[in-house]
Amino acid sequence: MLHAAIWPDQLGPFTKASSKPAEVADQAVWQEYGLQETEQAEYASGGQHFTATAYRLKDPTGALAAFQWQSPADAKHSSIGEHAVQSPALTLVAFHNYLFRFDGRQPEVAELTEMFGRLARLDRSPLPTLPGFLPAQGLIPNSERYVLGPASLAAFEPRISASLAAFQLGSEAQLAKYKTKSGEMALAIFTFPTPILARDRVAAFSKLPGAVMKRSGPLVALILPPADKDAAEQLLGKVNYEVNVSWTEYVPSARDNIGNLILGIFRLTGVLLLFCLGAGLVFGGLSALRRRIFKQWGIDDSMIVLHLEDR
């Protein structure tokens, strides 16, 4: 794993004392999430110190997946960022294609803002929309896991094989656990490039023992195996794919009306004719005035005839 200088020398009142590559377990999952560079730094100020670990990933999807994976079960949402959690042991923040971990101290918003402005190779591509299809009611906090390939699927939902998930088709999955009256349920939502591919995968997923599933557009949601099928059906009923179509229609303005265009041409022509007429009258009036009043300074305006016919 490459070691990058991600952390600044100064973070608020703290000074970086040392840095080294971060050690990562489950390297297959990290590699699947697109981990590219890491740095673990030690900061100190007076008698205080803390450890900061940074992970630069390929894109925001990988960073979000790593954020879900690394979030402790007892973590609570933190106000220092949109994707930030805090537990008694650590603070975790995801920012675009970066994941930051703070052990021993929660950073200030101003410190993070200054640091974020200096990040190199920042990927601002949008986050995946798949997590938004998770039903909110009954969701166990920090149980979400994003699946990008066989390694993460085997780590978080080994009951589903990679061949069934068909990652070669471009599929991804969002996993989460829910509390129900019948106990805990594990929900998996797979997304495929087209609804037709999703429909074909339903037949493959139906071979899983005890699977209860639902297809909605390009999504396939399934629960394996539910203790209560009725509760599973109720949970699956909350997973719905809705298409939002934006239609931008051009609204013609007054200048696009051909009648207004012709009227404008006539107006311009009239203005030019009036200008020419006025200029002619002024010029003619001045010439007449010059001839009648200022004859001694006038210029002979008589016509010069060459009489070329005599030659």
CATH of the structural domain 128-245, one choice from 3.10.560, 1.10.287, 3.40.1000, 2.30.38: 3.40.1000
Contacts of 51 (CB under 8 A, 6+ apart): 40, 41, 42, 43, 102, 103, 104
**Region 256-260: what's the mean pLDDT?**
71
pLDDT tens digits, 67-103: 999 999 999 999 999 999 999 999 999 999 999 999 9
In 3D space, the residue among 27, 94, 103 whose CA is nearest the CA of residue 66 turns out to be 94
Q: How far apart are CA 130 and CA 173, in angstroms?
A: 8
Residue 39 phi/psi, 5-degree rounding, is -155, 130
Instruction: Tell me the average pLDDT of the chain.
Output: 89
Q: Are 167 and 137 in contact, with CB atoms under 8 Å apart? A: no
Predicted structure pTM score? 0.77
Do 1-127 and 128-245 show the same overall fold? yes
Does residue 244 carry a pLDDT above 90? no
pLDDT tens digits, 220-229: 999 998 889 9
Kindly tell me the burial class for residue 98, based on how many C-beta atoms sit within 10 Å of its own C-beta (0-12, 13-18, 19 or more). buried
Q: Are 215 and 193 in contact, with CB atoms under 8 Å apart? A: no
pLDDT at 253: 62
Q: What percent of the chain has pLDDT over 70?
A: 88
pLDDT tens digits, 1-13: 555 689 999 999 9
pLDDT tens digits, 225-243: 888 999 999 999 999 998 6
From residue 237, alpha-carbon distances to 185, 209, 218, 269 in Å are: 14, 20, 15, 69
Domain regions of the chain by residue span: 1-127, 128-245, 257-294
Residue 134 phi/psi, 5-degree rounding, is -70, 130
The pLDDT-based confidence of 263 (bands split at 50, 70, 90) is confident
For the domain bounded by 1-127, which CATH number is listed? 3.40.1000
Q: How far apart are CA 237 and CA 112, in angstroms?
A: 40
